Amino acid sequence: MAVLYAIVGCAMLLGKTVSAQGAAYSQCGGQGWTGSKSCVSGYTCTYSNDWYSQCLPGTNTQTSSTPTPTGGTGGGSGKTKYAGVNMAGFDFGMATTGTQDASQILTPPNAQMSHFVNDDKMNIFRLPVGWQFLVNNPGDQLNSGNFAKYDNLVQACLATGAACIIDIHNYARWNGAIVGQGGPTNDQLANTWSQLASKYASKSQIIFGVMNEPHDIPSITTWAATVQACVTAIRKAGATSQMILLPGNGWTGAASFVSDGSLAALKTVKNLDGSTTNLIFDVHKYLDSDGSGTHTDCVTGNVDVFNNLASSLRSAGRQAMVTETGGGNTQSCINYVCQEIAALNANSDVYLGWVAWAAGAWQPSWNYELNLVPTQNGNTWTDTSLVNACFKRT
């Protein structure tokens, strides 16, 4: 894709039209697109949305200027099963060291979820929460008052009919110390998960997200043992059939999930019966210049990243969920995020879905880069430009 974009840039400077055909999986159309609108043999320019069309496997090599939607690749249906948004608030004040300033915690407004489901056709929410908010110390019983506040959000999510991801948002740490590797023991984290799983064992919509964005973990195999302890605890608590999301090292980044050994290590995690049913890899990927999700502009659609990981997932016979991705409400992010969603849809056999970051308790006055909070006027909701362009489903 980088080569194609370079050719397009030169052609624009020279005032000429690019005649080269688009490579497999490259962009071939969309609002503002000036490159080739035809694809190499065996691929057809396939419409995703007004901002992005992509060269996907097909019998035609050329398309009209208004291509029509078709199915995905690799056995995918052309649309991921799940699409939704994070509801931030109970994770506020959490540093990447796994230390939380409780004074920053805010309660996400439940009404947003009804809007996203009813108006935008979303069907999944991730509900991040600090471990310190749930328990006073590792291994303790749930803090009844705090858990009641969190459970109110969970119940509101369940009431929409959507899937609801419970996400402990601690970066594999408690106050700077890594779980299972010098910090809290595996059993202490597993104890929290056992309590949570027992609360929601009868709720098929619940998905358990073991841990948000582990990073700088000395041993990925030791981390896989920590994940295994949590899976075992969840299943023994009676949640025997729900999905469990397995996070890797390196902020569980999609680009490094194979190269840093996360996929290989987490493949060894099993259910009580030895199967891997509903054990789903948890991956993240942002689109800004350093992949941090802290800038308003985007520079990539991550198409190659997700296509490459999709191949590895197919080889392993496994699936993944993208539980964090997104960008600012800018034209560059509209272009690139729509590309990314198209790539996930095209590989929907291995990507179950995506959850954008983030709505919830963010305040518009904060000028947060990735704010997806809709505004409400009476019974009318207005979404941000990025939600309208790329995340809303029709």
Retrieve residue 199's tokens: 């609360």
Query: Could you identify the residue written with the tokens 């299972």?
Result: 180
Beta bridge partners of 356: 85, 325
Task: State yes or no: is 324 an active-site residue.
Answer: yes
Query: Could you identify the residue written with the tokens 């941090």?
Result: 292
Catalytic residue among 120, 167, 282, 324: 324
The beta-strand segments (E) located in 133-219 are 163-168, 173-174, 177-178, 206-209
Retrieve residue 184's tokens: 């809290």
Find the helix or strand (DSSP H, E) in which 85 lies: strand 82-88
Query: Could you identify the residue written with the tokens 């891997």?
Result: 276
Q: With b meaning 16 or more CB within 10 Å and e meaning fewer, what string describes 77-87?
A: ebbbebbbbbb
The beta-strand segments (E) located in 123-194 are 124-129, 163-168, 173-174, 177-178
DSSP summary character for residue 142: P
CB atoms within 10 A of CB 353: 23
Catalytic residue among 91, 120, 167, 213: 213
Omega cis (within 30) before 20: no
Task: State yes or no: is 340 an active-site residue.
Answer: no
Catalytically active residues, by annotation? 213, 324
